[in-house]
A and B are shown apart, each in its own frame.
Chain A
Amino acid sequence: MRNALAFWRRFSRNRAALLGLFIVLAIIAVAVAAPFLYPDDPMGMVAQPFLWPLQDPEFPFGSDSLGRDLGAQIFHGAHVSLLIGATATIASVLIGVTVGSLAGYYGGWVDEALMRFTEVVQTIPPFILTIIVVAIFHSTIGTIVVAISIVSWPSVARLVRAEFLTLREREFVQAGIVMGMSDFRLIVTQILPNSMTPVIIAASLMMASSILIEAGLSFLGLGDPNVVSWGAIIGAGREAIREAWYISALPGIAIIAAVLGLNLVGEGLNDALNPRLRRR
């Protein structure tokens, strides 16, 4: 509890991090509020098409080329972006932690094999691989999450491996070995909890990049066709970009806000959890 308080004090001293946290919480609020504020299907045609924002007080965000309420789409889109961002991050962290801890703990050929594999994955252009996976295995939220985590885990694996390499030489781990702890218990209960700091920081940055990848996919028309997503609205708005550029502009601002907020939180965590590096 005291630790948490001290952490919060360090985190909240950073105004940029607080701003980031505020943005992220606001977007979560938007996602939660969407079904209450806009209970109807956001894909429904409810308004006159091409209403500019603030033109009609009933639709403050305007409407798109088919007369769908942009506000409803953006609010519901927040839900999809956060959902995909969070699940893809959790999945990549799980893969990355598993690979990284096995490589770092066992070393030798296990390390060699896993790291070579990681290097191969890191060589493949990530966005192109996600496109291919989604294109081949149909676009659903599930495949998008899988595709994003396939390309995102290597950085976590490297971080965790580096932590394990130094931690496993430390005395508390040696003591655990002497006590006869199993490898599994040593990894999970001793080393892993001590190597979570960089993973937590990486996770918030990774969620930001997952949201960007998802936006790119749905912009190309590879998103889940059954849900609204920010990237898909921008892609649809392209058709009428010359006359009604606000359709593409507004969801873009939402994406920037979400990604910026998460990046700021990540940096704030970095500064608060690594006090030595706080100079920057």
Chain B
Amino acid sequence: MQKVVKRNILGYKNNESKSQRAPFHSTAGSLWTDGAQERLDPQRFHVPALIKPVLSRLWRSVAIVVAIAALNFIIVHMAPGDVADVMAGESGAASPEYLADLKQRFGLDQPLIVQFFVYMGRMAQFDLGYSFRFGRPVASLIFERLPATLILAIPTLMLAFVMGSVLGVVASRRVGTWRDAAISVGALVFYATPLFWIGLMLIILFGVKLGWLPTGGMQTIGANYTGFAYVLDVGRHMILPVVTLSLFYMAYYARLMRASMLEVFGQDFIATARSKGLSEGRVAYRHVLRNALLPVVTVLGLQVAHLLGGTVLVETVFGWPGLGRLAFDSVLSRDVNLLLGILLMSSILVVSTNIAVEALYRWLDPRIGAA
């Protein structure tokens, strides 16, 4: 049996760095001597520990985006009817000559492989084609709508992450009490509730019955607010969509955080920390929380992918002029270019989050080696 020793970015063997960097894993200290020698190797110190793995992640991300663009190409060509058919259908009358002319203009008479490289070349310049529904280039439409989606998605993620983690920590510190039960049941129910349904119910409660909050759109139509009043107005319109989106993810993070905390609470180094005489609060926040956060941070990238799908529903419910609403409009008119452009753009958002998560992860846990 041959054992391959993997070395991480700092030149530690993977298993050693664990013991060195984690003060509470003191029982594994015997490996120290073995790794100390390598730690002194000056050459290893040149590589900035945070940047290189993030760079390698960047390359992988570029590869993923290219693969998704290629997938888009396949979807376009699997779709029944091509651009020329759609355009000819839109214009009403379509003679075979007109159709052939259109096909030639869009390069659809070229061999598939040529079309593929032409397509990928255009994608590389972020030329996403033309939207027939809106009569404008897809890229400019997307960039116009992106900010509206971001001001929903970013507060949602922050709210869900912070509130969910707090609830999870509270529940895990009081396992089996009414507080744990209330949080767990609440999380279970909201985890099972469709986003759009919560949105509708909130509209009825806060918009229609109580009349506290606006029920749709991003600003009061015709009010023409400027400056601070405008920000306040948009903020009021944001509340219901953000709460709607957050509840599901809050429930998710609360459940994950609770499970993760309980997992860490059961580990040996916690018993050690307690036997050192540390207070329960210090054990929970300094020792357990820091470790329990890791798996919760990991899923952030997946959650962003899921969240962008959720914005389609929430933006449709609240008439919010973002990417999701744009996706819904382009579905109704079968605007394939626009749909695939949104798909590519949202995948790029997910990939960027993954890069950020990677950096965050390394900052939280320096033990991790190169991926």
Closest beta carbon of chain B to A247's beta carbon, Å: 10
Q: Contact: A219 with B343, CB < 8 Å? A: no
Which residue of B78, B195, B308 is within 8 Å of A216 (Cβ)?
B195
Stretch at the interface among A42-50, A93-101, A118-126: A118-126
Of B189, B305, B317, B332, which one neighbours A256 at CB under 8 angstroms?
Answer: B189
Judge whether B347 and A216 touch: CB under 8 Å. no
Which of chain A's residues have a CB closer than 8 A to the CB of B78?
Answer: 136-137
Which of B309, B336, B339: most chain A CB closer than 10 A?
B309
Among A3-11, A67-75, A127-135, A180-188, the one that faces the other chain is A127-135
B336 in contact with A241 (CB, 8 Å): no
Question: Do residues B197 and A255 form an inter-chain contact, with CB atoms below 8 A?
Answer: yes
Report B-chain residues with C-beta under 8 Å of the C-beta of A77. Answer: none
Residues of A within 8 Å of B191, CB to CB, are 263
The interface residues of chain A lying within 8 Å CB-to-CB of B309 are 125-128, 130-131, 216
* B79 x A216 contact (CB < 8 A): no
Tell yes or no: A34 within 8 A of B by CB: no
Query: How far apart sit A248 and B196, CA to CA, in the bound complex (Å)?
Result: 10
| Interface flags, A244-272, vs B, CB<8A=1, else 0 | 01001100100110011001100000000
Please give, as numbers and ranges, the residues of chain B lying within 8 Å of A279 by CB-CB distance. Answer: 262, 266
| Contact, CB under 8 Å: B194 / A120 | no
Say whether B196 contacts A234, CB under 8 Å.
Answer: yes
Chain B residues within an 8 Å CB radius of A231:
194
Contacts of B342 in A (CB 8 A): 128
Contact A125 B346, beta carbon cutoff 8 Å: yes
- Cβ proximity bits B293-319 to A, threshold 8 Å, 1 near / 0 not: 000000000100110111011001100
Contact with A along B49-86 (1 / 0, CB 8 A): 00000000000000110011001000100111000000
Contact of B194 among A116, A122, A241, A255 (CB under 8 A): A255
In contact, B334 and A120 (Cβ under 8 angstroms): no
Contact of A128 with B343 in the complex, beta carbons under 8 Å: yes
A123 touches which of B64, B80, B208 (Cβ 8 Å)? B64
Which residue from chain B places its CB closest to the CB of A235 in the assembled complex? B196
- How far, in angstroms, from A137 to B78 measured CA to CA in the complex? 9
Q: Is the CB of A136 within 8 A of B262?
A: no
Which chain B residues lie closer than 8 Å to A215 at the CB level?
A: 194
Q: Interface size on A (CB < 8 Å)? A: 44
Whether A2 is near chain B, meaning CB under 8 Å from some CB there, is no
Contacts A219-B194, A255-B194 given; does A135 touch B339 at CB 8 Å = yes
Please determine whether B200 and A234 come into contact, CB atoms closer than 8 angstroms. yes
Report Cα–Cα, A127/B316, bound state, in Å: 14
Give A123-161 interface residues, CB cut-off 8 Å to B.
123-133, 135-137
A222 at the binding interface (Cβ < 8 Å): yes
Distance of A216 Cα from B343 Cα, bound (Å): 17
Closest residue of B by beta carbon distance from A212: B194
Q: A128 and B75: CB pair below 8 A?
A: no
Contact B308 A125 (CB under 8 A): yes
Closest B residue by C-beta to A267: B188
Decide if the interface of chain A is mainly helix, strand, loop or mixed. helix
Interface majority SS on B: helix, strand, loop or mixed?
helix
Closest B residue, CB atoms, query A124: B347
User: Given A123-B64, A245-B204, A280-B259: A128 and B192 within 8 A (CB)?
Assistant: no
Cβ contacts under 8 Å, A255 to chain B: 192-194, 197
Contact call B327/A128, Cβ cutoff below 8 A: yes
Known: A215-B194, A256-B192, A260-B188. A125 touches B305 (CB 8 A): yes
B203 at the interface (CB under 8 A from A): yes
Q: Assess whether B203 is in contact with A241, with CB atoms less than 8 Å apart.
A: yes
Query: Which residues in B have their C-beta under 8 angstroms from that of A130?
Result: 309
| A262 to B: closest C-beta gap in Å | 8
In the complex, are the beta carbons of B192 and A122 less than 8 A apart? no
**For the complex, what is the distance from the CA of A101 to the CA of B346, rounded to whole Å?**
30
Selected from B203, B313, B343, the residue in CB contact (under 8 A) with A132 is B343
C-alpha spacing A119/B228, complex, angstroms:
43
Give the CA-CA distance A117 to B342 in the complex, in Å.
Answer: 20
Distance A256 CA – B186 CA, assembled complex (angstroms): 12
A residues near B331, Cβ cutoff 8 Å: 131-132, 135, 220, 222
Q: Which residue of A lies closest to B259 (CB)?
A: A280
Q: Which residues of B contact A242 (CB under 8 A)?
A: 204, 208
B197 touches A220 (CB 8 A): no
Chain A residues close to B by CB (< 8 Å)? 116-117, 119-120, 122-133, 135-137, 208, 212, 215-216, 219-222, 231, 234, 238, 241-242, 245, 248-249, 252, 255-256, 259-260, 263-264, 279-280
Interface residues of B (CB under 8 A from A): 63-64, 67-68, 71, 75, 78-80, 188-189, 191-197, 200-201, 203-204, 208, 258-259, 262-263, 266, 302, 305-306, 308-310, 312-313, 316-317, 327-328, 331-332, 334, 336, 339-340, 342-343, 346-347, 350-351, 354
A-B contact pairs, 16 of them (CB 8 A): A120-B71, A122-B302, A123-B350, A125-B343, A129-B343, A130-B309, A132-B340, A136-B334, A136-B339, A221-B332, A234-B200, A241-B203, A245-B201, A255-B197, A260-B189, A260-B192
